[in-house]
Chains A and B, each alone.
Chain A
Amino acid sequence: MAGFLLRRLVNYVVLALVATFLAFTLASATFDPIGVLQQRNPPPPAASIEAKKRDLHLDQPIPQRFVTWMGGVVQGDFGRTIADRPITDELGRRIGVSLRLFLLGITIGIGFGVLLGVVSAIRQYKFSDYFATLFSFILLSTPVFVLGTLLKMGAQGINDSIGSNVLIFVGESTPGFQGNWFEHLGDRLQHLIVPTLAIALGQIAYYSRYQRSSMLDVLGSDFLRTAQAKGLTRRKALFKHGLRTALIPMATLFAFGFGLLVVGGTFTERIFGWFGMGDWLVTGISAQDTNVTATVTLFVAVCVLFSGWLADVLYAALDPRIRVN
Chain B
Amino acid sequence: MTVILNEGDSAGTTGAASGSPVDAAPDPGKAMTRGRLVLIRFARNKLALVGLVIIVGMYLMAFIGPLLSKWTYDTQDYTAFLEPPYSEHIFGTDKIGTDMFALTMRGLQKSLIIGLLVALISTTVAAVVGAAAGYFLGVADKALMWLVDLLLVLPSFLIIAILSPWFRGKSWFLLVLMLAAFQWMITARIVRGMTLTLKEREFVKAAKFMGQPARKIIAKHIVPNMASLLIIDATINVGSAVLAETGLSYFGFGVQSPDVSLGTLIGVNAESATTFPWLFLFPAGFLVVFVLAVNWVGDGLRDALDPTSTRVRRKEKKKDTKEKAA
Contacts and interface: CB of A to CB of B under 8 A. Distances in A.
A31 interface: yes
Contact of A209 (B4, B163, B267): B4
A191 interface: no
Given A30-B166, A146-B266, A213-B11, A300 B154 contact: yes
Interface string B250-273: 111100000000000011001001
A149 B271 CA distance: 8
A256 B164 contact: no
Contact of A220 (B12, B150, B253, B287): B12
A263 B150 contact: no
Contacts of A133: 5-6
Interface string B1-32: 10111111101100000000000000000000
A318 B31 CA distance: 50
A102 to B, nearest CB: 15
Interface string A132-155: 010011101111011001101100
B247 A145 contact: yes
A70 interface: no
B165 A143 contact: no
A260 interface: yes
Contact of B8 (A213, A267, A286): A213
B159 interface: yes
A300 B158 contact: yes
A18 B162 contact: no
A145 B157 CA distance: 14
Contact of B153 (A19, A209, A213): A19
Per DSSP, are chain B's interface residues mostly helix, strand or loop, or mixed?
Answer: helix
Interface stretch (B66-74, B115-123, B188-196, B289-297): B289-297
Contacts of B11: 213, 216-217, 219-220
B5 A297 contact: no
Given A142-B288, A206-B3, A271-B270, A300 B165 contact: no
A15 B163 CA distance: 20
Interface residues of B, number: 50
Interface in B272-286: 273-274, 277, 280, 284
A203 to B, nearest CB: 12
B9 A216 contact: yes
A288 interface: yes
Interface residues of A, number: 61
Contacts of B231: none
A138 B292 contact: yes
Interface stretch (A20-28, A103-111, A175-183, A227-235): A20-28
Contacts of A141: 239, 288-289, 291-292, 294-295
Nearest to A155: B274
B165 A31 contact: yes
B162 A19 contact: no
A194 interface: no
B150 A18 contact: yes
A22 B154 contact: yes
Given A137-B296, A143-B287, A220-B12, A23 B154 contact: yes
Contact of B154 (A12, A19, A217, A286): A19
Contacts of A140: 3, 5, 295
B252 to A, nearest CB: 8
A274 B1 CA distance: 25
A263 B155 contact: yes
Contacts of A256: 152
Contacts of A27: 162
A80 to B, nearest CB: 19
Given A26-B163, A133-B6, A267-B250, A301 B153 contact: yes
Given A145-B270, A301-B153, A212 B8 contact: yes
Given A137-B292, A146-B287, A216 B246 contact: no
B8 A26 contact: no
Interface centre among A18, A141, A282 (most CB of B within 10 A): A141
A200 interface: no
A49 to B, nearest CB: 19
B218 interface: no
Contacts of B247: 143, 145, 267
B170 interface: no
A143 B154 contact: no
B320 interface: no
Contact of B284 (A26, A136, A146): A146
Given A18-B150, A30-B165, 5 more contacts: A141-B292, A146-B266, A259-B152, A263-B157, A297-B154
